[in-house]
């Protein structure tokens, strides 16, 4: 029987229920994380857990466990569910209270949930690359918080899906911010370009690992926003996320990128990222 954490209880997935007055359900008042598991090992667990606590703190949600306890709980779940390759989804909300916008009374406990899914690596996308579309970024101005409120991303992603594309590249006016659920990078003349870390993007953990790869490989990184026009003129484009890893972008709307095939720099970065995975699981 597959288990999950509901607060501090390890329950059968079928047994777990959430109140209709949970603030995550009514307001999207909470945050989440997705951690990839490779061969039973949590990849960049510390970075994900740190971001979970930082986001909770930004929203004044109190997580009732230490980071160490959280780490142990996640491992216990992965072992209990015999996850080899897959991921953990975890979220915490401001808890259960009668519906009013302002925060519940002090002492109202947050609702924590974590569950696992078996999922292989996206090998076809990694190999062949993906098609994308441009969409206006209509999200709120705290995209640095991994909030449960995902409507801006959901609507953009649905448009992409209906058009047979994998991702929507979001832009505010002419300026690209990030993907609906990924960070976006361009490479021109051997230099990597990506949006700087601020309130308009989520500082992806995969982005951080990728930038470390660039540093190790001596690839210069320029953190400036790209315009749509600049992005289309890049030699190569790719996106990163926990589940997508380093995925080449081969088309945006009607325009092919790098003649519609993954570029050489992207391939090198994929290899470097792969080495990070190997290093983690062989520890």
Residues that bind ligand PMP (CB under 6 A): 34, 178, 181-183, 202, 204-207, 240-242
Dihedral over alpha carbons 245, 119, 122, 226 (to 10 degrees): -40
Could you tell me which residues come within 8 angstroms of residue 217 by beta carbon, excluding any fewer than 6 positions away? 268, 269, 272
- Of 81 and 241, which CB lies nearer to ligand PMP in the complex structure? 241
**Which CB atom, from 3 or from 244, has the smaller least distance to ligand PMP?**
244
- Least distance from ligand PMP to the Cβ atom of residue 147, Å: 10
The least CB distance from residue 146 to ligand PMP, in Å, is 6
Whether 47 contacts 208, CB under 8 Å: yes
Q: Which residue is nearest to ligand PMP (CB)?
A: 204
82 — alpha (psi -120 to 50), left (phi > 0) or beta?
A: left
Closest CB to ligand PMP among 5 and 32?
32
- Shortest CB 241 distance to ligand PMP, Å: 4
- The yes-or-no answer on residue 146 being catalytic is yes
Crossing angle (nearest 10°) for helices 205-217 and 45-58: 130
Of 3, 36, 131, 146, the catalytic one is 146
Closest separation between CB of residue 195 and ligand PMP, Å? 10
Question: Which helix (H) or strand (E) covers residue 57, if one does?
Answer: helix 45-58
State how far the Cα of 95 lies from the Cα of 22, in Å rounded to an integer: 5
Distance CA 31, CA 206 (A): 18
Which of residues 74 and 205 has its CB atom nearest to ligand PMP in the complex? 205
Give the catalytic positions in this structure. 146
């Amino acid at each position: 029987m597959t288990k999950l954490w509901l607060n501090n209880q390890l329950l059968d997935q079928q047994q777990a229920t959430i109140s209709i007055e949970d603030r995550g359900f009514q307001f999207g008042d909470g945050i989440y994380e997705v951690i990839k598991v490779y061969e039973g090992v949590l990849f960049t667990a510390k970075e994900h857990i740190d971001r979970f606590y930082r986001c909770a703190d930004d929203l004044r949600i109190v997580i009732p466990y230490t980071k160490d306890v959280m780490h142990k709980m996640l491992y216990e779940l992965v072992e209990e569910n015999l996850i080899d390759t897959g991921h953990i989804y975890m979220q915490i909300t401001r808890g259960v209270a009668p519906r009013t916008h302002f925060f519940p009374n002090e002492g109202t406990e947050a609702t924590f949930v974590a569950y696992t899914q078996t999922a292989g690596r996206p090998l076809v996308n990694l190999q062949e690359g993906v098609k994308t579309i441009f969409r206006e970024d209509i999200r709120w101005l705290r995209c640095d918080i991994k909030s449960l409120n995902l409507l801006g991303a959901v609507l953009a992603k649905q448009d992409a899906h209906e058009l047979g594309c994998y991702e929507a590249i979001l832009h505010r006016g002419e300026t690209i911010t990030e993907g609906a659920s990924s960070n976006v990078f361009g490479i021109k003349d051997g230099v990597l370009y990506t949006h700087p870390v601020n309130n308009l993007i989520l500082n992806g953990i995969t982005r951080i690992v990728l930038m470390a790869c660039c540093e190790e490989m001596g690839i210069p990184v320029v953190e400036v926003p790209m315009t749509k026009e600049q992005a289309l003129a890049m030699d190569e484009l790719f996106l990163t996320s926990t589940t997508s890893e380093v995925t080449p972008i081969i088309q945006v709307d009607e325009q092919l990128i790098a003649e519609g095939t993954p570029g050489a720099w992207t391939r090198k970065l994929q290899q470097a990222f792969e080495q990070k995975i190997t290093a983690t699981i062989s520890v």
